[in-house]
Chains A and B, each alone.
Chain A
Amino acid sequence: MKYFLSLCTTGLIMGVIYALMALGLTLIFSILRVINFAHGEFYMLGGYAAYYILGTFTGLHPLLAVPVAGLIAALIGLAFELVFLRPIHQDRIERPDEYAVLVTFGLSFFVMNLALAVFGPYPHRPPSFFEGAVNLGIVRVSADRLTASALSLILLGLLLLVINKTWVGKALRAVSQDKDAAAVVGINQLSMNTTAFALGAGLAGVAGALLAPSFSVTPDVGAVPSTRSYVIIVLGGMGSIPGSILGGVLIGLVESLGAGYFPDPSRALNYKTVFGLVIFALVLLFRPTGLFGREES
């Protein structure tokens, strides 16, 4: 029982961070109707940003690099949206659905190779937020991961507040529910698109910066978290904000419990991601709309 509870705790701690990253993907999808196949690369850029900020300003507390890294990722996302995605919504692109899949994948390919050329293949690790580990009674967790998780939780709360209570949040929800009706009441869809994409990219960047001290950064570091985010948004229901949060936590639990009870501990870590694929397949088989999904038009 104690083992089970300790696995649940570590699962929840990671799940909150997964949820943060998946929420970025969901925001982008619900507003732009585009799956951002470069989401992992914004995560990676956030990690490198944190590393180089802390390398340049050595006196800075590592936590202060996180918002700046998020901002940098958001700015890159903003520029990409303006140049490559805005034309979709101005009807300047043939076959917009196909274009959206390919151009975000193309961005991922370009950015990953750019990172390889500029930063090299070797892992970079920014300094820890706090050294050591914290004893939670049933399990010891590294202070870095606990910090990352706590900050993710706060950020998730803030985002929910913004989405539910502010004008921008209402406007975003309006666009996600009905583009035309939103336009009628004077919401500029194009600027909402840009806002959502920049916000989503920024969230991936923050997640990358938060986990960089724990897992280091390499050019391909985004592959696993982005794959996981795809599973989460399908599980939660494409475009559903509560779905991506619950999905993130569930995947965190499944990975932790699955790896913890795997018969062969030496191979357990490899199978961690396999559980995600199994869940993906099960959702498609039995509940294609996901936990909170609505029927796609």
Chain B
Amino acid sequence: MTVNIPSTTEPRPRSGKSAKRRFWFRTDLVVALVALVITLLVPLFVQTYWLHVLIVAYFYAILASSWSLLAGYGGQFSFGHMAFMAIGGYTSGLLGRFVNLPPLPGILLGTLAAGLAGWAIGALCLRFKASYLALFTIAFSEILRTLIRGETQITRGDHGLHVAPLFGEGVISRIPYYYTMLAVLVACLLFMYWLANSRVGMFLRAVREDEEAAAARGVNIVHYKVLAFVITSMIAGLAGGFFAHYITILTPNIMIIPQMGLVIAMAIIGGVESLISAAFGGMIIQIGLEVLREFGAWRMVIFGGLLVITLRFARNGLLAPLFQRLFGLGPRAELREEATTDGA
């Protein structure tokens, strides 16, 4: 639907096999272009309702893929991803409410605020084992939600904070919002893909595979873990900012733990070691939630069950292996090379 990028979790081979790699790179590029053209043309064919579903789906795709960057590449688990998203949204919303700041600078400041909170929490927790980050972020998220809910004078609590629409009150069409969210998603994916394949990404993977060995080789592990945490928190904040200025009302319910669970289910079911699979996980599950509307509360039970089963029996997720077969994308380079011999 959006760009298809080969997201290798293993370092690219440095030499040899370059012809094969170039071939696959082109295939990826073709798939990516086709997907991009399809997503660009979607507004011509679908109704407003489905346009809305897709905007929300792209929003979840940003959250799921950025969560998977931290988890699948860095081996760190944040249960506060929705809290950082909410920091982005509420910062912009509150600045708009109290100092009449327009949406775009608001989103920028919201993203920075999420990054600042991520830096403080990361610097505090990432010196320790991964479970401390998980423990602290789940506590942080719940407590921030209680505060936002309680401080009704400022945040309006459960009544909801009204946020100005991004394109002003006059624009009713969802098409500008569709392209905006799509652009944010594509930009975030490209940036994260670049990051994952840069030195930072290599170091992160090295730390995940063997923290002591990485430290012994001179990688300042805490520094890179904090950096990755700050970046993913900022991406969550950015997504939250744009989302807030789209739905125009924020309540603390967007950051309840089941919402966090939903994003994690998206990333895990999609495939946590591949950014694009996690993004697709986000989109497909969000669309699935709409399609299965008649099942009501049982939909989340289905996805919850699927999450636990995927964790136990399919650690690469359900979508990532599928993409691997179809397009030769995905985490395992050697499998891709096998595929070339089939003439796929």
A158-191 toward B: CB 8 Å interface, digit per residue (1/0)? 0000000000000000000000000000000000
What residues of A have a CB within 8 angstroms of the CB of B104 in the complex? Answer: none
How would you classify the secondary structure of chain B's contact residues: helix, strand, loop or mixed? helix
Q: Which of B130, B132, B296, B305 contacts A98 (CB 8 A)?
A: B130
Indicate whether A98 sits within 8 Å of B77 (C-beta atoms), given known contacts A84-B308, A112-B257, A284-B128: yes
Interface: A150 (CB within 8 A): no
Chain A count of residues within 8 A CB distance of the other chain: 46
Give the complex CA separation of A5 and B110 in angstroms: 44
Closest chain A residue, CB of each to CB of B140: A277
CB contact under 8 A between A99 and B147, given known A112-B258, A227-B138? no
| Chain B residues positioned under 8 Å from A10 (CB to CB) | none
Q: What total of A-B pairs shows CB separation below 8 Å?
A: 136
Chain B, residue nearest A296 (CB):
B129
Is A105 a contact of B264 with CB atoms below 8 Å? yes
Q: Is B199 an interface residue (CB 8 A)?
A: no
* Contacting residues, chain B, for A111 (C-beta < 8 A): 304
**Interface range on chain B (Cβ under 8 Å from partner):** 35 or more
Q: Does A197 contact B (CB under 8 A)?
A: no
For residues 276 through 334 of chain B, which have their beta carbon under 8 Å from a beta carbon of chain A?
A: 296-298, 300-301, 303-305, 307-308, 311-312, 315
Within 8 A of A (CB), among B134-150: 134-136, 138-140, 142-143, 146-147, 149-150
Q: Nearest-CB distance from B263 to chain A (Å)?
A: 10
Q: Does the CB pair B301–A101 fall under 8 Å?
A: no
Secondary structure dominating the interface of A: helix
Q: Which stretch of A11-19, A113-121, A135-143 is in the interface?
A: A113-121
* A102 and B135 contacting across the interface, CB-CB below 8 Å: no
Question: A: which residues have CB within 8 A of B?
Answer: 35, 37, 83-84, 87, 94-95, 97-99, 101-103, 105-114, 116-117, 220, 223-224, 227, 230-231, 234, 267, 269-271, 273-274, 276-277, 280-281, 284-285, 288, 296
List 24 A-B pairs, Cβ < 8 Å.
A35-B131, A37-B134, A84-B312, A101-B131, A101-B134, A105-B134, A106-B308, A109-B262, A109-B300, A110-B308, A113-B258, A113-B297, A113-B301, A113-B303, A220-B257, A223-B256, A223-B257, A227-B142, A234-B135, A270-B146, A273-B146, A277-B139, A277-B143, A296-B129
Closest 8 CB pairs of A and B: A270-B150, A109-B261, A110-B304, A113-B300, A117-B297, A106-B308, A106-B307, A230-B135
